[in-house]
Amino acid sequence: EAQVTQNPRYLITVTGKKLTVTCSQNMNHEYMSWYRQDPGLGLRQIYYSMNVEVTDKGDVPEGYKVSRKEKRNFPLILESPSPNQTSLYFCASSTLIMGVKTQYFGPGTRLLVL
Amino acid sequence: AQKITQTQPGMFVQEKEAVTLDCTYDTSDQSYGLFWYKQPSSGEMIFLIYQGSYDEQNATEGRYSLNFQKARKSANLVISASQLGDSAMYFCAMRMADSWGKLQFGAGTQVVVTP
């Protein structure tokens, strides 16, 4: 079954304690990205990756890091989380072939930073 | 910069009635794709329907149809015969040809279906 998995699904942490949210896809997609969702703002892209070892900033990259060492994995790293990073996070993957119509989203990770 | 606008923060609709969710977009590009996603209270993003900028016919997927008016830069979602399970947040999103993997989202519309 084609899917994007994220772990953990729920996380409560404290300010400054480094954390990693993992993301993995089994569809051999080139493109992967992270979004955060906040009320009234929809989803905003944090970082994206066009392929292995190729990453770039999205619209709201401050306070986040990513890496893409393997095609299937795209972890999101918060080196020093702050309360304003409390949000719902989605990983997504997509092929770059024109005409393919959907992005696949992971189930989401709810993060609370105290 | 591209922008997606959903002007309805929330709406109530009676079961079995049709509902139209508004979405307007702003781009100067000719090649783009428009999406609608549903997000129930459980949080997952569920793909509903897609319209390509060059598609001449409005997209339909079961009870969902997309009213695409290219000149007005409008891509409204129509849900026919609403069901209680349609209660959710609905997002309109756009993808550009030069950044095909990135979606630009609107703020969303909360729909509550009442018996």
Q: List the single range of A32-36, B2-6, B71-75 with lowest mean pLDDT.
A: B2-6
| Mean pLDDT, chain B, integer | 93
Which residues of B sit within 8 Å Cβ distance of A? 4, 9, 33, 35, 37, 43-45, 47, 50, 52, 91, 93, 95, 97, 100-103, 105-108
Contact A47, A66 (CB under 8 A): yes
Residue type, B15: E
Which residues of A sit within 8 Å Cβ distance of B? 30-33, 35, 40-45, 48, 50, 58, 88, 90, 92, 94, 96, 98, 101-103, 105, 107-108, 110
Measured from the Cβ of residue B5, the count of other Cβ atoms closer than 10 Å reads 14
**A65 class by beta-carbon count within 10 Å (0-12 exposed, 13-18 middle, 19+ buried):** middle
* Cα gap A5→A68, rounded to integer Å: 15
pLDDT beyond 90 at A102: no
User: What pLDDT is stored for residue B41 in this prediction?
Assistant: 94
Contact A114, A83 (CB under 8 A): yes
Is B107–A42 a contact, with Cβ atoms under 8 angstroms apart? yes
Question: How many CA atoms lie within 13 Å of B69's alpha carbon, on the beta-carbon side?
Answer: 8
* Cα gap B76→B79, rounded to integer Å: 10
User: What pLDDT is stored for residue A36 in this prediction?
Assistant: 97
Contact B111, B90 (CB under 8 A): yes
pLDDT beyond 80 at B98: no
pLDDT beyond 70 at B1: no
pLDDT beyond 70 at A84: yes
CB under 8 Å to B86, separation ≥6 — which residues? B13, B19, B38, B79, B111, B113
User: What pLDDT is stored for residue A70 in this prediction?
Assistant: 97
Mean pLDDT of A53-78: 96
